[in-house]
Amino acid sequence: MSSQPRLWTTFTEPLIRQNPVTLQILGICSALAVTTSVATALTMSASLTAVLVMSAGIISVIRNHIPSSIRLIVQIVIVASLVIVIDQLLQAYLFEISQRLSVFVSLITTNCLVLGRTESFARHNPPGRAMIDALGNGLGYSLVLILIGSLRELFGAGTLLDWQLLPTVDQGGWFTPLNLMLLAPSGFFLLGGLVWAIRSLLPEQVEAGEFTPPETGEDGA
């Protein structure tokens, strides 16, 4: 296995260069839904990373015993069990935040990111490496979520983690909250802008065009 990349690369690659959200566009649904505040984004990131790392470890341990024909069922059973545990833990210790996250923690089961990593990586790699890859991907996802969550909370309510950073007009300050930031469309805008920014900095991430436009004979074309 000399061609295997180093463990450190396995860990750092998914943070930005192979980021699951901005490059592979996985896990968008939850990334849009839970980023209205930093607190929910943090909780969701932690839950997803925990589920991802544990399921990658478990599936990697039994990877040679899973019959290929039922592997998806086995993977989903493992992921779903872990999600239920995490969900119960949140409801026990962080009840208020679990109410705000509503169904999105249970929906980690169907998050493409989790199944994508277990299916494409954990099934072919030893537990240590699989868990490090999972941790890298979970942190890459968390990075995007926390960034977008901070932007939306800061400009939508003037707060960060419920700590008033920009005094709003209602409280006698100067900042008029941008209500749009708390609505779903702004999640799309910010995520799109982030993908644009990253691909401008790392042009190798830009996808190949689906077709080449015909010559129009315009000036400068």
The 10 Å Cβ neighbour count of residue 108 is 24
Nearest distance from C-beta of residue 215 to another protein, angstroms: 12
Nearest distance from C-beta of residue 178 to another protein, angstroms: 5
Integer Rg of the chain from CA? 20
Q: Which is nearer to another protein, 96 or 215 (CB)?
A: 215
Provide the β-strand partners of residue 159: 164
Residue 158 sits at φ, ψ, to 5 deg, of 75, 15
Q: Which is nearer to another protein, 8 or 188 (CB)?
A: 188
Cβ(42)–Cβ(101) below 8 Å: no
Nearest distance from C-beta of residue 131 to another protein, angstroms: 39
Q: How many Cα atoms within 13 Å fall on the side-chain side of residue 71?
A: 19
Q: Which is nearer to another protein, 21 or 181 (CB)?
A: 181
SS3 42: helix
Q: Which is nearer to another protein, 128 or 167 (CB)?
A: 167
Q: Which is nearer to another protein, 96 or 218 (CB)?
A: 218
Q: Which is nearer to another protein, 146 or 194 (CB)?
A: 194
Contacting residues for 66 by C-beta, under 8 A, at least 6 apart = 59, 74, 75, 123
Footprint on this chain of another protein (rule: CB under 8 A): 176, 178-181, 183, 189, 196, 216-218, 220
Nearest distance from C-beta of residue 179 to another protein, angstroms: 6
Nearest distance from C-beta of residue 180 to another protein, angstroms: 4
Nearest distance from C-beta of residue 24 to another protein, angstroms: 22
Which tokens sit at 128? 């240590």
- The maximal CA–CA distance of the chain, rounded, in angstroms, is 67
